[in-house]
Every structure is written in C-alpha cells, then in structure tokens.
Homo-oligomer: A and B are copies of this chain.
Amino acid sequence: MIQQHILMTVDGIIFTIKDQSLQVLLIERLLPPFEHMRALPGGYVLDNETLEQAVYREVQEETGVNNAYLEQLYTFSDLDRDPRGRHITCAYMALMRSDDIDLQAGSDATNAKLFPVNQLPELAFDHKKILNYAIQRLKYKLEYTNLVQYLLPESFTLTELYQVYDIVFQQDFDIRNFKKKILKLNIVEPTGEKVVRGVHRPAMLYKFITPDTAIVEIL
C-alpha cells in the first residue's frame, strides 16, 4: 500500500487589462504562514474534482466570472515551497475582461484586489516565481494565438486591440503595420458599427470571427 505525504493544490494567475495596464488578482492571506501578505488565489484539490475544476471553482469564487479562458501552466514541486509541509501546486492562467470581474462576488473574505504587474507587493510562498512564469507564458501566447480576445470586450476598435499588445509587451509597435497585419490575418471582422472615442475620426468596431483558440502569428 502506497503512502504519500504530499498535498496537491492549484493556483490561479488571473490576468486582465485595466487602466492601461496588465493586472493580476491577488488575495490577502488571513492566516499564517505569510499572514497579511498578498498571494495568488488557490487552494486544495478535492478528491473528486480535476485540476481544471478546482481552478475553475477558485476563479469563480474570487471574481464571479465563470467563462474565463483557463490554461494549465506548470506544476511546481520544490520541497521547501510551503513551510507547513510538502505541497505540490499546479498553476493555471486565467484571462478575463475587467468589466466581467466582480470582486464582491467572492464568498471568501479574502480581500481580493487587482494589482498592475509592474507594481507588485511582496508575495507569499514561491508565488513571485509562479507569476513571472505566467507573465512569460502570456506574452508568448499572445504572439502566436488569438487569445487576446479573452482580454477584450465583445466588440472593440483596432486601436484597443493594439493597445493590449502595447501594454503587455511594454513597447510601441507601429500601429499602422499592426492594423494591416491583423486585418490580413482574417481573425476579426467589422461589426458594421462605428464609435467615436474622442475628438477625431470615428473608428470601426470589430469582433473576433472565432471564439476558439487558434494558432495565428500576430507578432
């Protein structure tokens, strides 16, 4: 009979774009260890749920969102990552629109808050390492998939799409070349509506042709 003394957890890295910056949801730890410190939302995996289901549950509890994009990132197993004993955690990245997030929805009194990824507080456990991994993966995936759609509203202008890339990659690409590239890729189509965003020519609204995840070289 096998006897293991290993506990399995999941952690969620919930990304969203808000106030012109890439933000991540962090909870406040109410108990030791790392009491009052910020940490990634997460918890123990139940005996009768998959890792995906566990993350889905955690994400829903913290944000109220139940249709976020979820992707498994990596499983962290360092021996000393939790002072309470041996814990292995499987990290998942979640992408959602900030408008969909309702921080009050959480039944947990975890004081969940969004933080810009370049203004982070100190994090509990090895969560800084996990978060860095997630940021890398996010950038990587935005380059060659249409995942950016999960960070945008249903319809959006090409400039808003452009801005997500500008924000995440912290560099300004040529907006003219970017727009041309997107249009040529055939992943968005005009809704037919125009919107006035300021004192200038109105912009066409677009939507993604397919909500599915597809391989598309964007950058």
Contact = CB atoms under 8 A, between A and B. Distances in A.
Interface of A: 2, 4-8, 44-45, 47-52, 72, 74-75, 77-79, 86, 88, 90
Contacts of A78: 50
A44 B74 contact: no
A75 B73 CA distance: 9
A47 B90 contact: no
Given A51-B88, A88-B51, A4 B45 contact: yes
Nearest to A51: B77
A72 B8 CA distance: 17
A34 B40 CA distance: 39
Contacts of A75: 51, 72, 75, 90
A74 B2 CA distance: 23
Given A2-B44, A52-B77, A72-B74, 17 more contacts: A4-B8, A4-B44, A4-B45, A4-B47, A5-B47, A8-B8, A8-B88, A45-B77, A47-B86, A48-B79, A49-B79, A50-B77, A51-B75, A51-B88, A72-B75, A75-B90, A77-B90
